[in-house]
C-alpha cells in the first residue's frame, strides 16, 4: 500500500558550499580573519582562523556576557551599585582606556556596562568583576566557564579587560562564537554596543563624554557593533557586525597594522559579504512547511514542520543547483500524533544530499471509523484513489 513519495518544496536555488569560489579573488590584510552569515551560520571567509591571538579589549565581550547572564537569572539588577576599589581606580591613572571612576564611587551595573562597552574602560571592568565575583581572578573563572559552555575551546581568560597577559588568549573563530552568542541570546543588551557616546558624571570634575571605539559605527553603512582591541604585540583587532534588513554578518579580524587599516579592511570584508551573497530561508521554526498525504485518516493531508529555522547563504546570480524536497513513506497511515516524525527534508546540490532535517506532524490526525475505512479501501482497489 505505502510507497515512497517525494514532495519538492523548493526548486533550483544555488550552490552554497562556495568558500573557494571567491577566495582567490578576495583577500583581507590581517593576520587572521573570519566572516559569518549570522542566520545560516555559513562561514563566508576565513584566514588562519585557529591562529592564537591576544584578544585585547575584545575580551570585554565575554565580560559583558557573564554580567548579562546574571541579569537574566535575576542575581543582578541594572540599578544595583558597586563600590569602586583602589585597585579598579588605579587603572584609570595608568594610561589605559578608562571610564574615569574614583575610589569610593558607587556606580550602577548599567553605568559600568556602558563604561566597558562604549568607552572601553578597563577600570570599569575591574570594578564590575570585583562587584560581581569579589575579585577579578574569581570573575575570570566565570568567564572561562562560560567560554567552555559556548564552545570556545581555544580560549583562556585571565582578566576582565584583556590587558597584557600571555595567558589571556583566543582565536578569531572563538571570538566569532562569542559574538554570535551575544547577539542571539541578548539582543536587547546588544543595543549598548551601537551607542556612539557615553557620558560619565565623574566625581571631582566635569562630566566626561567619550565616543565608542568602534570606527565602523560612524561609517553609516549598517554596522551596529561590536568591539575593538589593541595590544602592541597583537596590533589592531576588531569584532564587527552589520545588519541590512533581516540579514546580519559578523566579522572578526586581528593583526591589522594600523587603526585605518582595521577600519578599512573590516568594512571591506563586511561589504564583500553583503554584495556577493544572499541568504535564503528554506524553512521557519514551528510553521507549516507543507502538507503530506494521509491514508485512512479523518483528513487527507497532514501539515508538517521542522523544529529549527533553516537558512542557506548563496552566491548571488546562481539559482540552478540547490534544491530541497520532503521525502516520506506515504500516504502516511492514520492515526498520526502531533510532533510525530513523518519524513525528512533533504537539501541537495547537483543531486548530492548535503543536509537533512527531520520533518514533524503539526497536528493530530485521527483514524476513520471502520465503515469509512472499508469504503475508502474499496475505492482504492477499484479506482486507485487514496
Q: Which residues are catalytic?
A: 57, 60, 120
- 3-state helix, strand, coil split of the chain in percent (to 5) is 30, 30, 35
Determine the Cα–Cα distance for residues 253 and 235; give it in Å rounded to an integer. 11
Q: Do the Cβ atoms of 101 and 118 come closer than 8 Å?
A: no
Reading the block at residue 302, the C-alpha cell is: 497532514
Determine the Cα–Cα distance for residues 346 and 183; give it in Å rounded to an integer. 29
Cross-strand pairs, 53: 170
Reading the block at residue 119, the C-alpha cell is: 568607552
Q: Do the Cβ atoms of 293 and 331 come closer than 8 Å?
A: yes
Peptide bond into 217 cis (omega under 30): no
Structure letter (DSSP) for residue 383:
H
Reading the block at residue 222, the C-alpha cell is: 549598517
Q: Which helix (H) or strand (E) holds 247?
A: strand 247-256
Structure letter (DSSP) for residue 339:
T
Amino acid at each position: 500500500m505505502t510507497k515512497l513519495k517525494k514532495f519538492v518544496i523548493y526548486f533550483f536555488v544555488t550552490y552554497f558550499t562556495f568558500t573557494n569560489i571567491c577566495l582567490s579573488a578576495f583577500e583581507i590584510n590581517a593576520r587572521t580573519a573570519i566572516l559569518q552569515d549570522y542566520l545560516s551560520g555559513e562561514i563566508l571567509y576565513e584566514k588562519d582562523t585557529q591562529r592564537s591571538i591576544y584578544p585585547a579589549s575584545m575580551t570585554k565581550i565575554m565580560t559583558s556576557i557573564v554580567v548579562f547572564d546574571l541579569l537574566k537569572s535575576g542575581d543582578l539588577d541594572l540599578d544595583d551599585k558597586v563600590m569602586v576599589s583602589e585597585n579598579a581606580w588605579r587603572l584609570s591613572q595608568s594610561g589605559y582606556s578608562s571610564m574615569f571612576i574614583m575610589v569610593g564611587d558607587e556606580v550602577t551595573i548599567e553605568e559600568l556596562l556602558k563604561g566597558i562597552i562604549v568607552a572601553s574602560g578597563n577600570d570599569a571592568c575591574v570594578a564590575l568583576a570585583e562587584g560581581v565575583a569579589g575579585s577579578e581572578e574569581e570573575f575570570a573563572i566565570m568567564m572561562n566557564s562560560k567560554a567552555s559552555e559556548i564552545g570556545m575551546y581555544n580560549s583562556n581568560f585571565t582578566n576582565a579587560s584583556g590587558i597584557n597577559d600571555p595567558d589571556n588568549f583566543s582565536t578569531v573563530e572563538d571570538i566569532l562564537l562569542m559574538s554570535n552568542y551575544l547577539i542571539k541570546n541578548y539582543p536587547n543588551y546588544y543595543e549598548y554596543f551601537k551607542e556612539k557616546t557615553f557620558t560619565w558624571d565623574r566625581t571631582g570634575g566635569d562630566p566626561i563624554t567619550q565616543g565608542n571605539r568602534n570606527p565602523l559605527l560612524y561609517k553609516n553603512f549598517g554596522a551596529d557593533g561590536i568591539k575593538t582591541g589593541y595590544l602592541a604585540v597583537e596590533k589592531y583587532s576588531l569584532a564587527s557586525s552589520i545588519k541590512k534588513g533581516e540579514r546580519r554578518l559578523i566579522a572578526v579580524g586581528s593583526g591589522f597594522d594600523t587603526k585605518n587599516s582595521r577600519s578599512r579592511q573590516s568594512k571591506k570584508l563586511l561589504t564583500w559579504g553583503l554584495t556577493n551573497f544572499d541568504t535564503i530561508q528554506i524553512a521557519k521554526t514551528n510553521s507549516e512547511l507543507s502538507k503530506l498525504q494521509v491514508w485512512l485518516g479523518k483528513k487527507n493531508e497532514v501539515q508538517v514542520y521542522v523544529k529549527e529555522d533553516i537558512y542557506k547563504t548563496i552566491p548571488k546570480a546562481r539559482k540552478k543547483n540547490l534544491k530541497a524536497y520532503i521525502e516520506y513513506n506515504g500516504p502516511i497511515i492514520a492515526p498520526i500524533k502531533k510532533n510525530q516524525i513523518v519524513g525528512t527534508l533533504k537539501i541537495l546540490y547537483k543531486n548530492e544530499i548535503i543536509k537533512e532535517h527531520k520533518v514533524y506532524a503539526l497536528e493530530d490526525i485521527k483514524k476513520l471509523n471502520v465503515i469509512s475505512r472499508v469504503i475508502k479501501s474499496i475505492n482504492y482497489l477499484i479506482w486507485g484513489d487514496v
